[in-house]
Structure 1
Amino acid sequence: MPHDHHGHVHLDPEAGDTRISWAIAVNMGLTLAQVVGGLLSGSLALIADALHNFSDAIALIIAFFARRIARRPADAEMSFGYGRVEVVAALVNYTTLVVLALYLVYEGVLRMLDPQPIDGWLVVWIAALALAVDLVTAALTYSMAKDSMNIRAAFLHNLADALGSVAVIVAGTLVILRGWVWVDPLVTLMIAAYILWHVWSEIGGVMRVLMLGSPPGLQAEEVACAIEAVDGVRGVHHLHLWAMQEHAASLGAHLVIDGGRWGQADAIKAGVKQMLADRFGIAHSTLELECAAHACDAPLRIGHR
């Protein structure tokens, strides 16, 4: 079964850029409103949600420029193209989220030890506005999130923001009804914990691409066996399988041609390349041909010494 990505919505690049621009604008406006509201109301949870929302706006800005850079064609400086810049952008965004979450933990613990008065109504109204903006931003980025690790990270951040806004509304309501000011720093710690959990669940895929790991769903041994099943192939070794970008798998390997069939080597290689594209979605493969009588001596099947 091909390991491809059929069924994803491919939005026109310029239209996608416009959506992200609108998402950036509404998030920056919301961040300003939340910070002002948090300072006036004394709510740390509201400021925490504002900082998280600001990080999402920054993530969208990084994603915007990364998308534009990624569309540049390959050149002498970047022979594989610029597509991986989106993966780098995702790593930057996740790293800043970790720093932000640790700061929120620090502030939340301090506020737990020294509770401050809070204007519950102001907290509720601004958090409700934040929830509306978060949902609008999620709607703007939803279709693009299916195709891009970078945009998906920004989309999930906004979804997390929406949950954070709901938590802030609950905290403000409890302050109004019960006077439980300790709920505010508790919600702050919960938001920080959610951010860290979210980063932990997503950053592995980013690191896998940057570390030249095999694409998710592709096993090197399975690919090697499929290559050896092609007529005319004696064996395969020095196999490397990696993700150049989120949706672009690459393969390099030494291909041993059956004895007496060297005259068909080019056709056999073409057959292997076609199989890799059809069955595994590997469109970029580099194969070094060896005749059975002069193959590498005791090579590694996967990787090289």
Structure 2
Amino acid sequence: MSHSHRHSYGHSHTANGKLTLAVFINVLLTIVQIVGGVLSGSLSLIADALHNLSDAGAIVIAIFARKISAKNADENMTFGYQRAEIIGTLINSITLIIVGLYLIYEAISKYFSPTEINGWLVIYIAGIALVIDIVTAVLTYMSGAKDSMNLRAAFIHNVSDALASVAVIVAGILIILYQWYVVDIVATILISIYVLYHGGLLALESIKILMQAVPEACDINEIKADIELNLFISNAYDIHVWQLDEHKFFLECKLELTADTEQVNLAEIKGMLEKKYAIKHSTIEVSPQGTSIEASCY
């Protein structure tokens, strides 16, 4: 058991080291892009810089939330601290939405006050940014983005930044070839829409968990029907299913038994719930037919 704990701690420590490196790289890149954006007159480059800065913030939040979620349950937090990562996801998704809206505002403002843009400088800096964005995305993914919504939010930040850098490069090429300065504004708006879309999805997903919504993989009516397939159960009611985090599903419900029985094999029902719905933690109350749980308490 202690070996497993040391292994888990070592993995987390290594992952946090990769994430810290990603933060450092993104902060340096943000500075370079802002300077380049001001010198070149490119709004899309500055937009990409702000997105990079939000990437750094997203990773810092992800690290902080991960450390909190690793704490053991105690008397005050009996479910543990796992939802810290969900809160981190919500914060990151909200920053994505704010950045996206701000960039659209800036793009509209620049449309009415156009300026000349240095296409070559835009391409050089966006090219460097693209390489760094890819490296940062890889570091974030290797740190556990596949299994953590919190880190996945930071990873999406990184991926969207890489796509933004590609859009900026394309804008720079079109500016050099055709002097289409409006392309810079179009690229900014496209980046913003992408950011808003993923920010909205992540916000919705995290809010559902925090509001204890029924997980998408579970259907209350279907669960009720499966439980009532048991010949000794006449009614399953007051069924509640929720998520502690993105991996742990919980259920509580009440069962009314048939008239000809006084007990039922709860282990069998719990096994079905775990196998079919991935619900590993279930609390089930049982009462004889015609007797409610509430009535039996008096």
Q: Establish whether TM, by shorter chain, passes 0.5.
A: yes
For residues 106 and 279 of structure 1, the distance between their equivalents in structure 2, rounded to whole angstroms, comes to 48
Q: Relative contact order (C-alpha < 8 Å, sep 6+): which is higher?
A: 1
Deviation at 1:253, TM superposition (A): 0.5
For residues 28 and 290 of structure 1, the distance between their equivalents in structure 2, rounded to whole angstroms, comes to 61
Q: Which residue of 1 aligns with 2:20?
A: 21
**Residue type matched to 1:196 in 2?**
L
* 1:251 lines up with 2:248 in the alignment: no
What are the within-5 Å matches in structure 2 for residues 135-284 of structure 1? Answer: 135-143=134-142, 144-262=144-262, 264-265=263-264, 268-284=265-281
Q: Structure 2: 5+ residue runs without aligned partners?
A: 1-9
| Alignment root-mean-square deviation, CA | 1.7
**Residue type matched to 1:152 in 2?**
R
- Which range moved further: 249-258 or 45-54? 249-258
**Residue type matched to 2:167 in 1?**
A
- Which range moved further: 47-56 or 198-207? 198-207
For residues 136 and 282 of structure 2, the distance between their equivalents in structure 1, rounded to whole angstroms, comes to 39
Deviation at 1:234, TM superposition (A): 2.4
The alignment's TM-score, normalised by the length of structure 2, stands at 0.90
What are the within-5 Å matches in structure 2 for residues 33-44 of structure 1? Answer: 33-44=32-43
Distance 1:231 1:100, change over 3 A: same
Deviations 1:194-249 (A, max 9, x none): 21122233332112111111112211111111112235322210000111111111
**Residue type matched to 2:89 in 1?**
A
**Residue type matched to 1:229 in 2?**
L
For residues 136 and 100 of structure 1, the distance between their equivalents in structure 2, rounded to whole angstroms, comes to 22
For residues 241 and 108 of structure 1, the distance between their equivalents in structure 2, rounded to whole angstroms, comes to 44
- Which range moved further: 18-27 or 122-131? 18-27
8 Å CA contact 1:112, 1:186 repeated in 2: no
SS at match of 1:237: strand
**Residue type matched to 1:108 in 2?**
A
Q: Which residue of 2 aligns with 1:69?
A: 68
Identity fraction in percent: 43
Deviation at 1:296, TM superposition (A): 5.6
For residues 131 and 231 of structure 1, the distance between their equivalents in structure 2, rounded to whole angstroms, comes to 62
Q: Structure 1: 5+ residue runs without aligned partners?
A: 1-10, 298-305
For residues 231 and 51 of structure 2, the distance between their equivalents in structure 1, rounded to whole angstroms, comes to 56
The alignment's TM-score, normalised by the length of structure 1, stands at 0.88
SS at match of 1:188: helix
**Residue type matched to 1:47 in 2?**
I
Q: Which residue of 1 aligns with 2:284?
A: 287
- Count residues with an aligned counterpart: 284
